[in-house]
Amino acid sequence: MPAYILLARHSKRGQREIAGDPDNLLNIRRTLEQWEANILADFFTLGEWDHCTVFEVSDNLRAQKAVLQQEFTETDESLLLPAIDLDLFEQLIRKEIRTEGPHEWQIKWWARLARLAMRWYQYDRWIWKYFKPLNITGSENFKKFRGNCIVVANHTSHFDTLALLGSLPIGVRSNIYMGAAADRWFLRKGGGRKELELQPWYNSLVGGSFPIRRGGGSATLDYSKWLLEKGANLGIFPEGTRSTSRHMARFKHGVSILALEKKVPVVPVYLSGVSAIRPKGSRAIEPGPVWAHIQEPVFFEDGMEVPDATRKIFEALNTPHQRALEQGPEAGHWHHS
């Protein structure tokens, strides 16, 4: 996910507010988090600039909006600098970054059989260890259509993939594929058992994932379309990045484009409790209860526009999300009254 450095100089008004209440030092952090930013570091500086914040956010537009909103309140001036990890930059200037995939063989019968054999090692042992318990409702909704589908879920933790895959019926799970960042999971690497689980072929075979190239434009969806044409299911987090607030982030249009073009239903799965096990930005893992509420499939009539389809998918997940916020995680059940 893109990283940024925000330098800010407080206005006189901002300085007065901070002097009156030091809690106002956190205003920049709060503003950025409203735009789904993940704060990596936050400093009050002594020098030309007053404040330095290092954060991640899913796209440039959100970063710019957050900065503009801050400028209209307490800052006199700000400077937003896109940043890149030093190790990654070193690889770039040495031209060492090469990615592999997608691997079309991953849908072959033997690949699916190998994935099933490795299911415990790759996923189920972690589900058993950390999800105490995994509560699944609404599995019967997969019986309301025939053929393949796109499964979508809200995104708050690295463990969301475990929760999503663990909630699916075996028939769906054995034939589902999920996109992963090409520059993270599909880098061409040397041999050696130490990095076995990071090898591109391993992620395609055992993980059932395929590379997504950031900023790849419409071509990014080509392999997803091919998978749907071959009868495979797709698993997608339409927010694009993990949310750090109580509100779901705006959905990207990729799911709608795929569902409308290939005429497949979308099955929303509302996940709750996962962020408490491993919150975004944390390495600590605390076992606890997790809920996966499978909602009714979403069908699209002919001629529906992409923004309308995206809005329909968003509401299918946001409705149980709002209930869960008000009444507790059990309220995310699809036929809750």
Instruction: Quick: pLDDT tens for 131-190.
Output: 999 999 999 999 999 999 999 999 888 889 999 999 999 999 999 999 888 877 887 765
For 123-148, how does the pLDDT look when each residue is reduced to its tens digit (9 = 90+)?
Answer: 999 999 999 999 999 999 999 999 99
Residues 56-63, mean pLDDT to the nearest whole number: 65
**Quick one: pLDDT at residue 269?**
97
Q: Which residue has the higher pLDDT, 336 or 82?
A: 82
pTM metric for this prediction: 0.72
Sheet containing 51-56: order of strands: 38-44, 51-56, 3-10, 75-83
* Ranges of CATH 3.40.1130.10 domains, the chain: 104-332
pLDDT exceeds 80 at position 337:
no
pLDDT exceeds 90 at position 110:
yes
pLDDT exceeds 80 at position 254:
yes
* Ranges of CATH 3.30.70.1060 domains, the chain: 3-83
Do 135 and 291 form a contact (C-beta atoms < 8 A)?
yes
pLDDT band at 89 (very low <50, low <70, confident <90, very high): confident
User: 322 CB contacts (<8 Å, ≥6 apart)?
Assistant: none
3-83: CATH topology = Alpha-Beta Plaits (3.30.70)
Cα distances from 248 to residues 229, 280, 322, 327, in angstroms, run 30, 14, 10, 17
CATH of domain 104-332: 3.40.1130.10
**Quick one: pLDDT at residue 193?**
46
Q: Which of 36, 82, 306 is nearest to 215 (CA)?
A: 82
Instruction: Lowest mean pLDDT of 80-94, 139-153, 155-169, 304-318, name the range.
Output: 80-94
pLDDT exceeds 60 at position 310:
yes
